[in-house]
Structure 1
Amino acid sequence: MGSDGRDGVDRQRPGWRRTVGDGVLALALLGLGIAGTGPSAEQRGVTADGRAYALMSVAALALAVRRRWPFVTLALTAVAATAYLMLGYPYGPILLTLLVAVYTVAAHRTLWPAATGGAAVLVLLTAHVFVGVRPPGLLGLMPAAAWVVVPFAVGTTVRLTRDAAARNRAEEARRVADGERLRVAQEVHDVVGHGLAAIHMQAEIALHLLEKRPEQAQTALAAISGTSKAALDELRVTLAVVRRGDGPAERAPAPGLGQVPALRDRLAGAGLPVTVRIDGEPVALPVAVDLAAYRVVQESLTNVLRHAGPATAAVRIRYAPTEVEVEVTDTGRGVAEAGRATIGSGLAGMRERVTVLGGSFASGPAAGGGFRVHARLPLEERP
């Protein structure tokens, strides 16, 4: 009729609360059986003797371990109920114990072992229809089968619903983890990508000037040192935010639009002149909005440094009552001659940052040549 191995749905032993609950249920059905077996038999002209009460007691008390050993419980209740019916006693409270046992197996064990056990019980229980002291004949087949089929169907439905809910929770947890990994990857990409691009450009300048103008090469090397330190500091802050969980806050604030002037100065040292224009009165922004706007500016200027060739760039930041707007334009060669794959990946990351906060993002060739990146972010974060 099946094994009680740990291959079922409930792999862990039930807790003490469930064990106590099963014991209470067994005692309740035992009391119901003692009170109801005699009257139900008398209504059909049969006297319930000691054998009837003994079989009913075995079936009821077996439910005390129904979740620890569901197949053992099912076997005991099925044998007791079958013997009860084959001795000529009419349907009574003993069948309630069988109903609970069948439901338990269907709800707490996988389909095939549960179905095998249920089929064996169905065959065993319906034997009294044809043999026994008072066989009811074919008219008793349907009522007898219902005591197995109905609880098995209900238990299977409960188990499938529970499994689906568990899968949905696991899938949601995976989505949250994937989203967090993507967020961290974007942060590290922006920090490291910008720092390495600036360092590369400054190193090229230093190599070019090392022999002819060593004093200017020294300036470029100092810029490399400053850029690498700033990138490392920002990377530490980013990783601290990821690691801290509910611990203390990071030692430095997350990057924001207030750091754009420092970004401009670093890029000037790397050979990219950048002008910054601010419209409206700067206000304190939500952290996520401030960070996303800064990353758009940073990634856009990094793309200019990497791909635009000899160029200048302009950053415009506009503060409005309900939104903040950032725009980055350059005078470079645009996308046509630049690295399309790398730029496309960076633009996709910027678009994701902006749209997840309920903002809008646009990018493309600028009117007078070069390239333009434009983003609008609402000041109210999307829930």
Structure 2
Amino acid sequence: MHLPLPRPHRDDVRIAVVGLLGGFALWGIGLGMNTGRLLDGAWLLVPLVVMSALELLRRTRPQFAVVVGTLVLVADQFTQGSLATVLMFTDLMYAGVLYGTPAAARRLPVTTGLVTVAATLGFLAWWRQPEAILVGVATGLVSFGPAATGVLVRNHRDRAAEERLRAEQTALLAEMDRAQAVTAERARMARELHDMVANHLSAIAIHSTAALSIDEPATTRTALETIRENSVDGLAEMRRLIGILRDSSGDAEPAAAPTLDGLAALVEQARTNGLDVGLALTGPTLSGPAGGLPAPVELAAYRIVQESLTNALKHASAGRVTVTVERAGERIEVCVTSPYGDRDGPRAPGSGAGLVGMRERTALLGGTFEAGPESDGGGKVWRVRAALPLETPSPEGEPA
């Protein structure tokens, strides 16, 4: 079974036609390159036609075209010779380097260079005349010159292809970085929105349920006051978040981001919402103002306490909730414990996003997080523990 020859490129067809017509024109006006050859007259048309046919293969079968073209050029020396045949051979040599295999592209310039040197020295030894150098120059112009030009063009083409590939890879990496940055920012926004608003909405849901289920004016008024307070605070938090999103300065967090100094107010608000909460701050820099701690660590600790109190408000049974924040060496340890068991009274629905957010905040700082029920003396409690290192590399997608 014979495989069909590949279809020649249209530019190769044009080159072959122009070379063939040019050769016929030179023959028609009687312009030849040699005189007194063995094969005279129209014999020069045979190498001309074969060489033009090889031009059709200059791009698809370059190595074959160079080998056969060399033989045809040698045969052309036994005729009057045609300039068109020689020019088409130089094009085949150029195409052999440009379109051939990498090995052929390396081999052809070396081979033609050696042939040029050998022809020069050989004719000098044979003729012993300075004119022999002209033979070497002609050989170099026909063989080594096109091969060297092909090397230069091929190297330039390969470098251009490498630069295009590098540019495409850079653009792809930039797009991946952009997508990751968008995903990280959306996750941060989701955590902020949940942590800031969920506490107020949970209190509103529980107290509105109590107001609807208990037909006592005093209880209803207290519930409505709590609902109004949480509505105003939730609206303020939403405005702060909107301010962050609209801020074009590039700051990931506003200057007034929550810190550990605000834990007392947070606990007091939880007591207003009906929780029995105790707060303990221990360790250096925590017994007084919490200044000097990294801002991301303070924010994460504050949000973990805030979300833990929100979960206790929604799910904990009656009893005391304890909040402990301690600096132990080079880390901040947060522990929130609440009664675990069946709950009497209204319960707000939960989605589990709070635990996911707390775990993400801790992981971004390189800390450890665990939450779940544990046995504690006379009963079960739900305990949240988080250890936040004070010296951590700035996580990608989070403010440093």
Q: TM-score range by the shorter chain?
A: 0.5 to 0.7
Confirm or deny that 1:270 pairs with 2:207: no
Provide the rounded CA distance (Å) in 2 between the counterparts of 1:376 and 1:81. 78
2:366 partner SS: coil
- Where do residues 188-267 of structure 1 align in structure 2 (5 Å cutoff)? 188-209=193-214, 211-212=215-216, 214-246=217-249, 253-267=256-270
The residue number in structure 1 matching 2:393 is 382
Do the aligned residues in 2 keep the contact of 1:202 with 1:269 (CA within 8 Å)?
no
Do the aligned residues in 2 keep the contact of 1:289 with 1:377 (CA within 8 Å)?
yes
Do the aligned residues in 2 keep the contact of 1:325 with 1:377 (CA within 8 Å)?
yes
The residue number in structure 1 matching 2:184 is 179
Give 1:223 shift: 1.6
1:254 partner SS: coil
Structure 2 counterpart of 1:351, from 350, 359, 367: 359
Q: Which has the larger radius of gyration?
A: 2
Shift in CA distance, 249/378, structure 1 to aligned 2, threshold 3 Å: closer
Give 1:379 shift: 2.0
Provide the rounded CA distance (Å) in 1 between the counterparts of 2:57 and 2:248. 53
Give 1:137 shift: 9.5
Provide the rounded CA distance (Å) in 2 between the counterparts of 1:314 and 1:187. 24
Q: Which amino acid in the other structure matches residue 230 of structure 2?
A: T
- Where do residues 325-344 of structure 1 align in structure 2 (5 Å cutoff)? 325-333=333-341, 342=350, 344=352
Shift in CA distance, 82/169, structure 1 to aligned 2, threshold 3 Å: farther
User: TM-score, normalising length from structure 2?
Assistant: 0.58
Gaps (5+ residues) in structure 1? 1-74, 89-118
- Cα RMSD (Å): 4.1
Do the aligned residues in 2 keep the contact of 1:312 with 1:332 (CA within 8 Å)?
no
Give 1:258 shift: 2.0
The residue number in structure 1 matching 2:167 is 162
Q: Kindly provide the CA deviation profile for residues 230-254 of structure 1, in whole angstroms up to 9, marking residues without a partner as x.
A: 1221222222123213179988711
Shift in CA distance, 327/138, structure 1 to aligned 2, threshold 3 Å: same
Gaps (5+ residues) in structure 2? 1-9, 24-55, 74-81, 103-153, 395-400
Provide the rounded CA distance (Å) in 1 between the counterparts of 2:312 and 2:220. 23
Q: Which amino acid in the other structure matches residue 382 of structure 2?
A: F
2:234 partner SS: helix
The residue number in structure 2 matching 1:44 is none
User: TM-score, normalising length from structure 1?
Assistant: 0.60
Q: Which amino acid in the other structure matches residue 228 of structure 1?
A: S
Q: Kindly provide the CA deviation profile for residues 111-165 of structure 1, in whole angstroms up to 9, marking residues without a partner as x.
A: xxxxxxxx99826996994797235999985652222456355543432232122
Q: Which one is further off, 310-319 or 291-300?
A: 310-319
Provide the rounded CA distance (Å) in 2 between the counterparts of 1:367 and 1:251. 40
Confirm or deny that 1:122 pairs with 2:59: yes
Do the aligned residues in 2 keep the contact of 1:311 with 1:332 (CA within 8 Å)?
no
Give 1:326 shift: 0.9
The residue number in structure 1 matching 2:368 is 360
Do the aligned residues in 2 keep the contact of 1:237 with 1:254 (CA within 8 Å)?
no
Q: Which amino acid in the other structure matches residue 172 of structure 2?
A: R
Do the aligned residues in 2 keep the contact of 1:192 with 1:231 (CA within 8 Å)?
yes
Count of aligned pairs? 274
Give 1:225 shift: 1.2
Shift in CA distance, 334/278, structure 1 to aligned 2, threshold 3 Å: farther
Q: Which amino acid in the other structure matches residue 170 of structure 2?
A: A
Paired-residue identity, %: 33
